[in-house]
Amino acid sequence: MPTYNAPLRDMRFVAHEVFAVADTLTALPGYEDASADLIDAVLEECGKICEGVLMPINQSGDEEGCQFNNGEVTTPKGFKEAYKQFAEGGWCGLTASPEYGGQGLPETLQYMVDEMVGSANLSFGLYPGLTQGTIICLTVHGTDDQKDTYLPKLISGEWQGTMCLTEPHAGSDLGLLLAKAQPNDDGTYAITGTKIFISAGEHDMTDNFVHLVLARLPGAPKGSRGISMFLVPKFLPNDDGTLGERNAVGAGSIEHKMGMKASVTCAMNFDGAKGWLIGSEHKGLAGMFTMMNKERLFVGTQGISQAETAYQNATAYAKDRIQGRAADGAKQPEKAADPILVHPDIRNKLLFSRSIIEAERALSIWTQINVDKAHVHTDESARERAGDMEALMTPIIKSACTDFGSEITNACLQVLGGHGYISEWGMEQLVRDVRITQIYEGTNTIQALDLVGRKLALHDGRLFNGLMDEIDQSLESTDGRNDLSEFVVPFKGALDRLKATTEWLKAHAKEDPNALGAAANDYLRMFALTVFAWMWVRMAEKALDAGGGEFYQTKLQVGRYFMTRVLPGVVSLDALVRSGAAPIMSLSEEAF
């Protein structure tokens, strides 16, 4: 059975020493109480519930899976009890408004909580994770009555939130969806249609479900401009908040999946179900993106979480498993063989994993700080700048962190060799579970296309230029520091290359309509490695300033590995981007 230890020391290092999170957050309105002590206390308690409650039911939950019987879903043994404990602890409403029963804490802290929950039990974490998105969407777009009726129950964890977009014929292209919303005489709407791939659409852990559904009103424009969003509960609430009659919505089946088997995925049927319009008519997609942008960062967190658990367990195995001798002489001559950690290939896999994970964690915390600033900063220009950084980093974090999550879990499985392929050790579950993160909430190629096709050009390049300004400001403290040259020099080289590649791509896209599509994934990975290197510069600076100690020396060694063994990959990625679309598009369709 795999184990998990919450990486509290590394989280505290990034939050407190690298980014001084508490100083930044307590200066923002509403977050005055988000002190370093409070942050540490929340992380400590989250670590306990993750290690002691969620991790022990992760593997058994995968083996048992969710069961479907006559429209009802039963979650695996222990999940209902764990969810009750989780909800009663206030974890479902950590960042929600205190006006409706939430704790009003920053998204930066929510990220660290989500990473730990995902590491301990990815399937479990999806249930409250989806509700968080529903809470945000209703908070931004709901009426006062809708907020009063639904937010307290969602925040308490008594009710589950979902997002219902995909239809059997309409996946990423939501402009094709056919679900209908017929106005009723009382101001409500009758929602009819079938939605598929609906996570947490039905289960036995909550009393009610609040579905956010995309559908078309009569006479709506074709395509995505004609989509509206509706709130459709499973049970219609009475005026006193109790549950009333059952609505005409239910699960028709559940999916049998590659992974995340303890997280139910439903096909949902809406048969004239009563719903309420959220926001304006025909503006549903924009409203849903309020939820989706939150969930995309959340999914990136899931990629980090699985990589972290895989790394921890592969490292423990490599220290214990003896096989062969070290090339430079026996390390444990009293034993029949040395631990496999002595072998360069094993060390390379583990160091690659760790160097990526720690950079991703730092980038995610930095991004979430910007999310908090974008929400509540008192200065309009500061909110705009922070919002730009959030928008630019969302496709990077969603795509790169999940691509690397899959890559790292596979590499860590390889460390275990044959045992990694056997269910008993739990590594193959991590490989299966993390794979969906590259697909849902917009496939990673869609994220890459969003980056190259929209984010780079948005506001005449303001987002990219703003990031370059942020980087330049952060590097001012490194000027004249020879002790940081081994980090700063390769980073600046990668940054200059990224700038040049970005300009080349913009120019080439004007000549070839396929240029962006051909380059998108390679460009995003190049972008990701470059900003990871930026994070390593910032972490190395603080580690050196700390003046010694095992933790800081290890941090520097892992950073050096990244700079010398991982960052050079931007050179080959640059070449791939500049190879253009011709090698991909020149083969005729008949030749495939």
Express each pLDDT in 249-297 by its tens digit.
999 999 999 999 999 999 999 999 999 999 999 999 888 888 888 999 9
- Nearest Cα neighbor of 181 from 173, 169, 189 is 189
Report if residue 280 sits inside a domain.
no
pLDDT at 174: 74
pLDDT at 198: 97
Report if residue 525 sits inside a domain.
yes
pLDDT over 90 (residue 328): yes
pLDDT at 442: 92
Report if residue 566 sits inside a domain.
yes
CB atoms within 10 A of CB 72: 12
Give the C-alpha distances (Å, rounded to integers) separating 152 from 96, 304, 414, 446, 528.
Answer: 10, 30, 46, 34, 38
* Residue percentage of the chain with pLDDT more than 70: 100
Report if residue 167 sits inside a domain.
no
pLDDT at 1: 83
The per-residue pLDDT of the chain, averaged, comes to 96
pLDDT over 80 (residue 192): yes
Catalytically annotated residue among 441, 511, 541, 589: 441
pLDDT at 502: 98
With contact defined as beta carbons under 8 Å apart, do 364 and 397 qualify? yes
3-state helix vs strand vs coil in the chain, percent to 5:
60, 10, 25
* Cα 511–Cα 515–Cα 517 angle in degrees, nearest 5: 145
pLDDT over 90 (residue 501): yes
Catalytic annotation present for 441? yes
Report if residue 478 sits inside a domain.
yes
Mean pLDDT of 365-385: 97
pLDDT at 556: 98
- Nearest Cα neighbor of 315 from 262, 354, 277, 270 is 354
Could you give the CA distance from residue 517 to residue 589 in angstroms, rounded to a whole number?
17
pLDDT over 80 (residue 173): no
pLDDT at 293: 87
Report if residue 330 sits inside a domain.
no
Phi-psi region of 219 (alpha: psi -120 to 50; beta: other; left: phi over 0): left
Q: For residue range 95-144, what is the model confidence (pLDDT) as tens digits?
A: 999 999 999 999 999 999 999 999 999 999 999 999 999 999 999 999 99
Q: For residue range 400-443, what is the model confidence (pLDDT) as tens digits?
A: 999 999 999 999 999 999 999 999 999 999 999 999 999 999 99
pLDDT over 80 (residue 175): no
Q: For residue range 7-47, what is the model confidence (pLDDT) as tens digits?
A: 999 999 999 999 999 999 999 999 999 999 999 999 999 99
With contact defined as beta carbons under 8 Å apart, do 124 and 261 qualify? no
Give the helix ranges, DSSP H, for 18-164: 21-26, 36-49, 58-64, 79-88, 107-120, 122-141, 144-156
pLDDT over 80 (residue 301): yes
pLDDT at 169: 84
pLDDT at 489: 98
Report if residue 558 sits inside a domain.
yes
Mean pLDDT of 81-88: 98
The total number of structural domains in the chain stands at: 1
pLDDT at 539: 98
pLDDT at 289: 82
- Nearest Cα neighbor of 402 from 273, 514, 305 is 305
pLDDT at 182: 97
pLDDT over 90 (residue 381): yes
Could you give the CA distance from residue 244 to residue 240 in angstroms, rounded to a whole number?
10
Could you give the CA distance from residue 227 to residue 179 in angstroms, rounded to a whole number?
9
pLDDT over 80 (residue 170): no
Report if residue 562 sits inside a domain.
yes
- For residue 495, the enclosing domain spans 457-584
Across-strand partners of 183? 189
The backbone torsions φ and ψ at residue 575, rounded to the nearest 5 degrees and listed phi first, read -65, -40
* Residue percentage of the chain with pLDDT more than 90: 95
Mean pLDDT of 554-582: 98
